[in-house]
Structure 1
Amino acid sequence: MNTKADREEQRMLELLEAVGKQSNVSQRRLASNMGIALGLANSYLKRCIRKGFIKISEAPANRYLYYLTPKGFTEKSRLTALYLSTSFAFYRRAGDSCVNVFNKCEERGWQRILLCGMSDLAEIATLRAQEQDVHIVGILDPHTERRRFAGVSVWRSLQQADAYDGCVLTELNSPLLSYEQLLKEVDKERILIPDILRLE
């Protein structure tokens, strides 16, 4: 799903896209845009230069200009195609996983479902729920300030949430930890886990 290799390729793509858009981008700006530490951004930049994807030239005032080479444009295209292919594959797998879990909800007579974790999976779940006989009452996520996501309410605690019949875990970043936290407040029988999370 979101392996180390996937993250590496995604960061390389982000770097190549940023340099392709703006040649005078600073390493600090690159790091900020990519959401990584400055040293890590520098490491990725050096790797791209070593592989011949980016050319560097010095500019006035101790600044550097970065340019994509023809090889860099080719790599950016390859990574973009790979990212789109992986994204669509994830969307299909996640959608099927949500349908399976919603079928279980229907078997149990659950109509009002609370999603636990604001993520791409939660967004896919809200879309696929429209095809099923279930209603997403909202999303529980203690780590966000957002009040709405994917067209539904977001709550930071169960006490704020609307009434629900059962919970579906949709946290992607740390699903096991979120599940363990949820178990402290909700009976195990009221929680379903999509198989794409691979916790069961």
Structure 2
Amino acid sequence: MKETAIPDEVRLALMRKLAQNPNVSQRELAAELGVSLGKVNYCLKALVKVGWVKAGNFARSSNKAGYAYLLTPKGITEKAELTTRFIERKQQQYDSLKKEIEELKAEAKQ
């Protein structure tokens, strides 16, 4: 069941980046993911709302607008499920492409 309107691939990419670096800025996330700052902000708010990410201010940061984005236990579980679905989808695409390439090679030989 999808609890957010965020596409799986965007959600997975965002959650992977947060797991690697919880202190990453929204601007950095936007640049790394190739999406707008507004989309990153929307996605983060949605992930916080469903309880997959917890946002908190840095305790001793000079940049008081800075946040740390931590995956919650529920978020870690969701990330694992997203990863599994992503791998399955990519495996199906790979198998389909492999079959198509084999067919094209066979046609080219004729």
TM-score normalised by structure 2 residue count? 0.87
Task: State the alpha-carbon separation in 1 of the partners of residues 78 and 34 from structure 2.
Answer: 21
State the 1:26 CA deviation.
0.2
The structure that is helix-richer by fraction is 2
The whole-number CA distance in structure 1 between the counterparts of 2:98 and 2:41 is 37
Runs of 4+ aligned residues of structure 1 deviating over 4 Å after TM superposition are: none
Counterpart CA distance in 1 for 2:109 and 2:46 is 51
Query: Which residue of the partner structure matches residue 47 of structure 2?
Result: 48
Any gaps of 5 or more consecutive residues in structure 1? 1-6, 108-200
Where is the strand percentage greater, Structure 1 or Structure 2? 1
| Structure 2 runs not aligned, ≥5 long | 1-5
Pick aligned residue for 1:83 from 80, 83, 86? 86
Amino acid of the structure 2 residue aligned with 1:76: K
Match of 1:101 in 2: 104
Return the offset for 1:90: 0.7
- TM-score w.r.t. length of structure 1: 0.49
The one-letter code sitting in structure 2 at the alignment partner of 1:99 is E
CA RMSD of superposed structures (Å): 1.2
1:32 Cα deviation after fit: 1.1
How far off its partner does 1:40 sit? 0.9
Mapped to 1, the partners of 2:7 and 2:108 lie a distance apart of 37
Larger radius of gyration: 1
For 1:25, the aligned partner's letter is V
- Report the Cα offset of residue 33 of structure 1: 1.2
Among the aligned pairs, what percent are the same residue? Answer: 30
Q: Which has the higher contact order (CA 8 A, sep 6+)?
A: 2
The whole-number CA distance in structure 1 between the counterparts of 2:83 and 2:32 is: 17
